[in-house]
């Protein structure tokens, strides 16, 4: 049965490439196997879906044929003449069609690996990319309101400072691999369901790098990366809220063989405030006034996250009345402006009145 890649990523067929990329990142973060509660199967499934929908050419072919060979073969016979949209992939030839097994491996969930076409560019990129990491930062209430720079101390793989990631000891020779002549690939015949085909395989001498070293780096043993403690500066934007996650692209573990570094996901925890309550971008507080102020009106000082402001209390203000101080709330992370500060008024009812005071209130006849 064909997989519904749109449903896997939670998007529809009219979604833009940016929307698809955003949906994939969210799904990958939720299901990442290194994360508590992660699901490796769903992570791989989401990645498989994105490999297709994230590429406009493959997406068009998927929309036309679906995710199985049965769908693709509907356009012709099973002898290589009816693959329709797959004929322009490039790669190697057999019969009347051309196939790039890196693309087949991406689209059909590793079919290339099953039939011996593994080790292509896409596979090496996934293996070489640095691992994503996750951490938590605890900040104070007002630090979340106005933003703050924090420093994380983490043990992670970083580029070796001795060889600068090129894997060779300083001063040693780096030469093109003689077995593959620096291409990183060698040709071989492969028996497949399509017949004997000449395919490109990873060079076993240089593991696909296309280079050999007279002496490997003595610090990283020719890996190019080392595991050390490192300090990472995290700029937390104004307006961030409790439970949100920041993604720092390229701040995860270093990739090997020149591949990109992973990402760092920082979970934000905000300490409770005894003075303010936050809901979205609005701030809530309560203020008590006396009976006289409620009846006759007054001007009072209200403490906000931006400092004290003056609030006019109209005569006859009732218990529970809420006043809005516009733009005295939290800065919007995306968009412009600030939320509001809402003040609920409590009225202190007088007690222990003397006889004269009771008489005066009685004579008010209100």
Domain harbouring 218, CATH code: 2.10.230.10
**Euclidean distance between CA atoms 218 and 170, whole angstroms:** 9
Statement to judge: residues 260 and 350 lie in one domain: no
Statement to judge: residues 152 and 204 lie in one domain: yes
For residue 75, give its domain range. 5-101
Statement to judge: residues 295 and 240 lie in one domain: no
Contacts of 353 (CB under 8 A, 6+ apart): 361
State the pTM of this model.
0.59
Statement to judge: residues 140 and 238 lie in one domain: yes
Query: What's the angle, vertex CA 133, arms to CA 130 and CA 139, rounded to 5?
Result: 145
**Per-residue model confidence as pLDDT tens digits over 19-69:** 999 899 888 888 887 677 788 888 888 888 898 898 888 888 888 776 553
Statement to judge: residues 143 and 257 lie in one domain: yes
Q: What DSSP string runs through 114-179? A: HTT--S-HHHHHHHHSPPPEEEEEEE-HHHHHH-EEEEEEEEEEEE-TTTTTS-BPTT--EEE-TT
The strand pair at 264-270 and 133-139 is best described as: parallel
Domain assignment present for residue 111? The answer is no
pLDDT at 281 over 90: yes
Q: What is the CATH number of the domain that holds 42?
A: 1.10.287.110
**Euclidean distance between CA atoms 105 and 110, whole angstroms:** 4
Q: What is the mean pLDDT of residues 78-98?
A: 38
Token pair for 55: 């590429």
> Among 268, 298, 323, which residue terminates a domain?
268
pLDDT at 95 over 50: no
Domain assignment present for residue 252? The answer is yes
Domain assignment present for residue 315? The answer is yes
**pLDDT bracket for residue 77 (50, 70, 90):** very low
DSSP code for 85: G
pLDDT of residue 41: 85
Statement to judge: residues 156 and 97 lie in one domain: no
Domain assignment present for residue 107? The answer is no
Domain assignment present for residue 122? The answer is no
pLDDT of residue 40: 83
Cβ distance 167 to 212 under 8 Å?
A: no
| Higher pLDDT among residues 152 and 190, named by residue | 152
Q: What is the mean pLDDT of the chain?
A: 82
Statement to judge: residues 238 and 288 lie in one domain: no
Pure H helices in the chain: 5-9, 17-31, 40-53, 56-65, 69-73, 101-107, 111-114, 121-128, 141-146, 291-296, 355-364
Domain assignment present for residue 110? The answer is no
What is the tally of structural domains in the chain? 3
> Among 79, 101, 123, which residue terminates a domain?
101
pLDDT at 329 over 90: yes
Q: What is the CATH number of the domain that holds 306?
A: 2.60.260.20
Domain assignment present for residue 112? The answer is no
pLDDT of residue 81: 36
Kindly report which listed range (113-117, 119-123, 141-145) carries the lowest average pLDDT score.
Answer: 113-117
Domain assignment present for residue 114? The answer is no
**Euclidean distance between CA atoms 138 and 143, whole angstroms:** 10
Closest CA to 154 of 19, 29, 20, 261: 261
Statement to judge: residues 261 and 290 lie in one domain: no
DSSP code for 331: B
**Euclidean distance between CA atoms 76 and 83, whole angstroms:** 7
pLDDT of residue 84: 38
Closest CA to 201 of 271, 300, 117, 135: 117
pLDDT at 167 over 80: yes
Statement to judge: residues 95 and 21 lie in one domain: yes
Statement to judge: residues 163 and 241 lie in one domain: yes
Statement to judge: residues 148 and 246 lie in one domain: yes
Cβ distance 61 to 21 under 8 Å?
A: no
Statement to judge: residues 288 and 263 lie in one domain: no
> Among 223, 247, 268, which residue terminates a domain?
268
């Amino acid at each position: 049965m064909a997989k519904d890649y749109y449903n896997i990523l939670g998007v529809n067929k009219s979604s833009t490439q940016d929307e698809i990329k955003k949906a994939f990142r969210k799904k990958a973060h939720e299901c990442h196997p290194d994360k508590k509660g992660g699901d490796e199967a769903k992570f791989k499934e989401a990645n498989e879906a994105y490999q297709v929908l994230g590429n406009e050419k493959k997406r068009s072919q998927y929309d036309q044929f679906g995710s199985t060979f049965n769908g693709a073969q509907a356009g012709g016979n099973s002898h290589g003449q009816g693959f329709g949209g797959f004929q322009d992939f490039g790669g190697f030839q057999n019969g009347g069609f051309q196939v790039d097994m890196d693309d087949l491996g991406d689209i059909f969930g590793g079919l290339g690996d099953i039939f011996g076409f593994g080790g292509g560019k896409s596979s090496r990129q996934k293996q070489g990319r640095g691992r994503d990491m996750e951490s938590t930062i605890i900040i104070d209430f007002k630090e979340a309101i106005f933003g703050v720079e924090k420093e994380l101390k983490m043990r992670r793989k970083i580029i070796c400072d001795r060889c600068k990631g090129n894997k060779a000891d300083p001063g040693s020779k780096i030469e093109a691999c003689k077995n593959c002549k620096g291409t990183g690939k060698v040709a071989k015949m492969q028996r497949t369901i399509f017949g004997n085909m000449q395919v490109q395989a990873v060079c076993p001498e240089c593991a696909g790098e296309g280079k050999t070293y007279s002496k490997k780096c003595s610090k990283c043993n020719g890996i190019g990366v080392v595991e050390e403690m490192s300090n990472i500066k995290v700029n937390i934007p104004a307006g961030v809220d409790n439970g949100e996650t920041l993604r720092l692209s390229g701040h995860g573990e270093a990739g090997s063989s020149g591949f990109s570094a992973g990402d760092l996901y920082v979970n934000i925890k905000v300490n409770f405030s005894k003075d303010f309550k936050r809901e979205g971008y609005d701030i809530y507080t309560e203020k008590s006034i006396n009976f006289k102020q409620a009846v006759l009106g007054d001007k009072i000082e209200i403490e906000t996250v931006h400092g004290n402001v003056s609030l006019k209390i109209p005569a006859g203000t009732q218990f529970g009345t809420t006043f809005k101080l516009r733009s005295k709330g939290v800065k919007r992370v995306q968009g412009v402006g600030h939320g509001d500060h809402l003040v609920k008024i409590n009225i202190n009812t007088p007690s222990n009145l003397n006889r004269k005071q009771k008489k005066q209130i009685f004579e008010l006849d209100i």
